[in-house]
Amino acid sequence: MNDERAKKRVVIDAGHGGDDSGTVHNGIVEKDLTLKISNYIKERLDDLGIENSLSRTGDELLDQNTRPERIQSFYGKGNDVIVLSNHINAGGGDSHCVTNV
């Protein structure tokens, strides 16, 4: 691949996990859905030949310190790294999004 995508690396961050379920409504648990979405994105990026990694691959809690450290452990924090943080917000409450990656 000879275009700009080949120069980028992607970290896919499945929001929540472990004891932090995120939003739960009508049998839908945010931490499970964000992991499923993240795995789908990983498969698509693999198909496109774009280097990528998942911040978590199972039901694991990454706290506010661990999450940025894990994300940066794959490719650092250069301009060639894209971080996709998946959340399904239901509205209200405090934000738990990572902003200082």
CATH of the domain at 70: 3.40.630.40
- Domain assignment present for residue 99? The answer is no
Number of domains in the chain: 1
**Distance (Å) of CA 51 to CA 14, 35, 39, 73, 90:** 17, 18, 14, 14, 31
Residues in contact with 45: Cβ distance below 8 Å, sequence separation at least 6, in sequence order: 10, 12, 51, 52
Name the band, by pLDDT with cuts 50, 70 and 90, for residue 83. very high
- Domain assignment present for residue 70? The answer is yes
pLDDT score of 50: 94
Whether residue 33 has pLDDT greater than 90? yes
Nearest to 99 by CA among 70, 60, 61, 67: 67
Task: Report which of residues 50 and 96 the model is more confident about.
Answer: 50
- What residues make up the domain containing 60? 4-86
